[in-house]
Amino acid sequence: MVINLGNRLKGKSKNNLLIEAGIVVGIALVLILIVPLLVQGFRLNMLGRFLALAIAALAIDLIWGYTGLLSLGHGVFFALGGYAIAMHLQLAPLAPGTLPEFMNLYGVTELPFFWQPFASFGFSAIAVLVIPLLLGAALGYLVFRNRIRGVYFSILTQAATIVFFNFFNGQQKLFNGTNGLTNYKTILGASVSEPQTQFVFYTLTIVFLAATYALCRWLTSGRFGKLLVAIRDDESRVRFSGYNPTGFKVVVFGISAALAGLSGAMFTIQTGLISPRAMDIAFSIEMVIWVAVGGRASLVGAILGALVVNFGKSLLSEQFPDIWLFFQGALFLIVVTVLPDGLIGWLRTEGMNLLDKIFGGKHIATYPSLEEDPEVQRERETLNK
């Protein structure tokens, strides 16, 4: 009996999963095939960049929404991903033995040793993921193994942001300091500024975003996901139940860092610039607010939030450049106090009620756990027969 029930549930969830996958692929196809017909040039590039940022939002959601680790330092991982690909783009068009332009300017005579492997595209593409992953995992390990958490963790990550900002900002000879790496020419033989190449970047961003979504979906469902949520809700209890949360936190922080790196790389090739400004404290906290606006612990919410906030930002800061900070500050306050579950959370509760009110549908409130209880559902089905 029980086995039978289990099988049926499995079938049902498999069906749901297929539907979800279909929706994701559908949206991706619409974005790739139809949207470029409607918007072109600057706006399309903007959409591409914001979709790249949505990957970072997913990364934040994974650690903050699901695991309860508020990182204020994801700008570092984002920028490292960006720098990894930008270093390749600096080296790609050069003849062997010549140096990037800015190095000549600062009187560097020999390519620094850690620049050399970035001449290869394969290495750079892997570095985009692996460098942030290793750094995130190492930092995470050093912090989590001492059970440093909560606000302490947040301000440590923030300090890390400052530190990396200072490092990259101060090293003119190695990273061109404040100006960052820009003026990209070719990648794998294709000209970066060509519309076709940019379209490839756009398409790749969407593919990566869908893949990231799938990865996060896979991670957050099942036992691993349950453990993450348990760590968020009561870490001591998880520990008392015989799990060591450190490993899980390190893994999820590392993955999140790698995703932020991917986001940074996709953002960089579409923007044409990576500078230490990406490691600004403000930018890292902005990432958090995308997730907060969309809805914590909701993957769709994170993507939605990143898009809504960034489009709102570009719209408002074009209109009122002076008082944009007022809006942003108010956004933080409003989201935290009035909309703690973000847009998605609001839609799920208030929005549904509002719809019901408008369309006059009747909705009888019961206990949600009762609604979802398979036993109760089965009883209902058999009773109806």
Partner 1 sequence: MLIVQGLLEGLFNGLSIGAVLLVAALGLAIVFGLMGVINMAHGEFMMLGAYTTFIVQNVFKTFGSPWSETYIIFALPVAFLLTAGFGILLERGVIRYLYGRPLETLLATWGVSLILQQFVRSVNWVLAIAIVIFSALFFGGLWFIAKRADYDRIKTLVWTIMLPLSAAISGAIGFVLAQTFKLTVTKPWFGAQNVDVTAPAWLRGGVRVFGTFQIPYARLFIIILTAACMAGIYLFLQKSKWGLRIRSVTQNRTMSSCLGIPTQQVDSLTFALGSGLAGIAGCAISLLGSVGPNTGQNYVVDTFMVVVVGGVGKLAGSVVAAIAIGTVNYFVGSGTIALLVQPIKPLADFFTFFATASMAKVMVFFLIISFLQFRPGGIFPQKGRTVDA
Interface residues with partner 1 (CB under 8 A) are 64, 68, 70, 139, 142-143, 146-148, 150-152, 154-156, 158-160, 162-163, 166-167, 169-170, 236, 281-282, 285, 288-289, 292, 322-323, 325-326, 328-333, 335-337, 340
Residue 137 or 214 having the CB closest to partner 1: 137
What ranges in 221-323 are assigned the alpha helix state H?
A: 222-233, 235-240, 245-271, 281-294, 299-319
Q: What is the CA radius of gyration of the chain?
A: 23
Contact in structure between 312 and 270 (CB atoms under 8 Å)? no
| Coil, helix or strand at residue 221 | coil
Query: In this complex, which beta carbon is closest to partner 1, that of residue 288 or of residue 343?
Result: 288
DSSP state for residue 276 in the 8-state scheme:
G
Q: What is the DSSP annotation of 326-385? A: HHHHHHHHHHHHT-TTHHHHHIIIIIHHHHHHHHT-------HHHHH-HHHHHHHHHHH-
**368 contacts: CB under 8 Å, gap ≥ 6:** none
Nearer to partner 1, 337 or 366 (CB): 337
Nearer to partner 1, 211 or 281 (CB): 281
Q: Which alpha helices (H) appear in 61-113, and where do they start and end?
A: 74-91, 101-105
Q: Please say whether the beta carbons of 95 and 180 come within 8 A.
A: no
Q: Which is nearer to partner 1, 1 or 333 (CB)?
A: 333
To the nearest whole angstrom, how small is the minimum distance from the Cβ of residue 141 to partner 1? 11
Question: What's the token pair of residue 89?
Answer: 């783009």
Asked whether the beta carbons of 231 and 68 are under 8 A apart, the reply is yes
Phi, psi of 272 (to 5 degrees): 85, 20
Q: In this structure, are residues 62 and 219 in contact, taking their beta carbons and an 8 Å threshold?
A: yes
Ramachandran category for residue 181: left, alpha or beta (phi over 0 → left; psi -120 to 50 → alpha): beta
Q: What is the closest distance, in whole angstroms, from the C-beta atom of residue 151 to partner 1 in the complex? A: 5
Which amino acid, 362? K
Query: Which of 23/325 has CB closer to partner 1?
Result: 325
Minimum distance between the CB of residue 294 and partner 1, rounded to whole angstroms?
A: 14
Least distance from partner 1 to the Cβ atom of residue 319, Å: 15
Residue 296 beta carbon to partner 1: minimum distance, rounded to whole angstroms: 10
Question: Least distance (Å) from partner 1 to the CB of residue 134?
Answer: 16
Judged by beta carbon, residue 230 or residue 335, the one nearer partner 1 is: 335
For partner 1, the closer of residues 56 and 128 by Cβ is 56
3-state secondary structure of 294: helix
Please say which residue, 120 or 169, places its beta carbon nearer to partner 1. 169
Which has the closest alpha carbon to 266: 210, 328, 322? Answer: 210
